[in-house]
Amino acid sequence: MRAVSEGNIFNIDKLDRAYFIYGEDVYPALQFIEDIKSASSGRAQGEVVVEKYMLGTDKWADIIDSARTMPLLLSSIRLIVVDVPSRKRQNIPREEENHYSNEEELLRAYLSSPSEKTVLFILFNQRIKGGSSLLKFFKSLPKDYIRIKELNSLKGKGISTWIRERVRSEGKEIDGYACSRLVELAGNDLRRLSNEISKLVTFAGEKTHISLEDVELVSGWIKPLIEWEIINSLEEADYQKSLLTLDKLIRKENIHPVIIMDKIHSFFNDILLAKLRIQEGNKDNISIFKEIKPHLPEKYRGLYQRKFKQVFRFAERVSIQDLRHYIEQLKDIDIKIKSTGLSFHELMDGFLFDYCKRRAGKERLF
């Protein structure tokens, strides 16, 4: 099986009649759909047909009518996939989430007696805050009508385990350095990671082991986008350039704000640690760098030297007091992103203005 499924809820051998999957990263549900297609290929039950709908553009009446319609081939399995549009503001429901009593009755009637070979997937790639009438309705139904699951972004050991399982599903292994580097490059977005792993598997060919060098050669393009451009603009304390870079990464390169925040926050933490170790005077720069980047061996000279110079060049130009101030600001932004309707752009604009004003002076902001 190619994809890696998320826990016991995704069981190919025992499909539920309907699923409502929501949360920060619903990619495992998309993997599950691919698993069903792959597992059913060539079996007696016939072809798997996937029909996709967008709530709002498509009405519940039309979606349910399609679910009840018999497939052209009686042996076919039909997967109805309904995407719920993401909210513009995390705590404010969209109009598409609302539904009327007649739609509730329609959904309840269908889920109480669904088509035998049809599975309904409702996917809401959004962490739900401020309540949702859609989620409330599905939770009010009997448990055997629909499976409900919240999927949050994987972190720490969870993301490393997912990568290893995903690589093993392709008949290969990945070492610790390579795994850590892949997370450093691509973040914890499972769709992006899966795409990068597919490239790595193709690149590896007959090799059974994916190394750090493979990751650098195949996936290293993400690093310049996130670190070189953002961190270079931070080093220059150029407010206008920083805003343009941020806008480019989000709008044109489709880099998720979580990845950008993680890289900026990690960078300032690394510089603060370097400054503190230099101040203590117990370690030389090589030992300090090894503590900051334990998964980056010296044998990768180009990358090692580039990162080494970046850390200590920046450390010479900024005070510990200012570093702590920037880190606290970033923590505050992270809290506001999760608890308010303020946009990432609005919050980062304020941070970059303050940062560049402190570093370059007000006269150089514009």
What mean pLDDT comes out for the span 133-143? 90
pLDDT of residue 238: 81
122-139: string of b/e by CB count within 10 Å (b at 16+)? Answer: bbbbbbbbeebebbebbe
- When pLDDT is cut at 50, 70 and 90, the band that residue 191 belongs to is confident
Could you tell me which residues come within 8 angstroms of residue 264 by beta carbon, excluding any fewer than 6 positions away? 230, 231, 234, 330
- When pLDDT is cut at 50, 70 and 90, the band that residue 232 belongs to is confident
> In angstroms, rounded to a whole number, what is the distance separating the alpha carbons of residues 7 and 270?
35
> In angstroms, rounded to a whole number, what is the distance separating the alpha carbons of residues 366 and 362?
8
- When pLDDT is cut at 50, 70 and 90, the band that residue 311 belongs to is confident
pLDDT of residue 357: 86
Is the pLDDT assigned to residue 172 strictly greater than 90? yes
Is the pLDDT assigned to residue 74 strictly greater than 70? no
- When pLDDT is cut at 50, 70 and 90, the band that residue 4 belongs to is very low
> In angstroms, rounded to a whole number, what is the distance separating the alpha carbons of residues 68 and 156?
43
Q: Shortest CA distance to 47 belongs to which of 20, 71, 82? A: 71
Q: Shortest CA distance to 65 belongs to which of 105, 101, 107, 117? A: 107
- When pLDDT is cut at 50, 70 and 90, the band that residue 329 belongs to is very high
Give the gyration radius of the chain's Cα atoms: 24
- What's the sign of the alpha-carbon dihedral 170, 164, 155, 323? negative
Could you tell me which residues come within 8 angstroms of residue 63 by beta carbon, excluding any fewer than 6 positions away? 53, 80, 82
pLDDT of residue 227: 60
Query: What CATH number does the domain located at 157-219 have?
Result: 1.10.8.60
Q: How many CB atoms lie under 10 A from the CB of residue 333?
A: 21
pLDDT of residue 20: 94
What is the percent of the chain where pLDDT is above 90? Answer: 24
> 6: helix, coil or strand?
coil
Tell me the β-bridge partners of 210.
Answer: 174
Please write the tens of the pLDDT for every residue from 260-269. Answer: 787 788 888 8
Domain assignments of the chain as residue spans, ordered by start:
18-150, 157-219, 222-364
pLDDT of residue 72: 62
- When pLDDT is cut at 50, 70 and 90, the band that residue 88 belongs to is confident
pLDDT of residue 43: 54
Residue 120 Cα distances to 31, 73, 77, 78, angstroms: 15, 18, 11, 9
Is the pLDDT assigned to residue 221 strictly greater than 90? no
Q: Do domains 18-150 and 157-219 have the same CATH topology?
A: no
pLDDT of residue 291: 86
What is the percent of the chain where pLDDT is above 70? Answer: 85
Mean pLDDT of the chain: 82
Question: Which string of DSSP letters, residue by residue, matches 94-115?
Answer: -GGG---HHHHHHHHHHHHS--
Is the pLDDT assigned to residue 336 strictly greater than 90? no
CB contact at 8 A, 190 and 25? yes
Q: 209-210 and 77-83: which strand pairing?
A: unpaired
Could you tell me which residues come within 8 angstroms of residue 260 by beta carbon, excluding any fewer than 6 positions away? 226, 230, 246, 249, 250
pLDDT of residue 5: 47
Please write the tens of the pLDDT for every residue from 252-306. Answer: 766 767 667 877 888 888 899 999 999 888 889 998 988 887 766 676 667 678 7
Class of domain 222-364: mainly alpha
Range 337-345 contact pairs with CB under 8 angstroms and sequence separation of 24 or more: 337/90, 337/257, 337/261, 338/90, 338/127, 338/129, 339/129, 340/91, 341/89, 341/90, 341/91, 341/92, 343/89, 344/250, 344/257, 344/261, 345/246, 345/247, 345/250
CATH-assigned architecture of domain 18-150: 3-Layer(aba) Sandwich (3.40)
Least confident of 187-191, 278-282, 344-348, 358-362: 358-362
- When pLDDT is cut at 50, 70 and 90, the band that residue 36 belongs to is confident
Is the pLDDT assigned to residue 38 strictly greater than 70? yes
Q: Would you state the structure tokens that stand for residue 227, as one six-digit string?
A: 């670190």
- When pLDDT is cut at 50, 70 and 90, the band that residue 62 belongs to is very high
Least confident of 98-107, 142-151, 324-333, 347-356: 98-107
> In angstroms, rounded to a whole number, what is the distance separating the alpha carbons of residues 179 and 159?
9
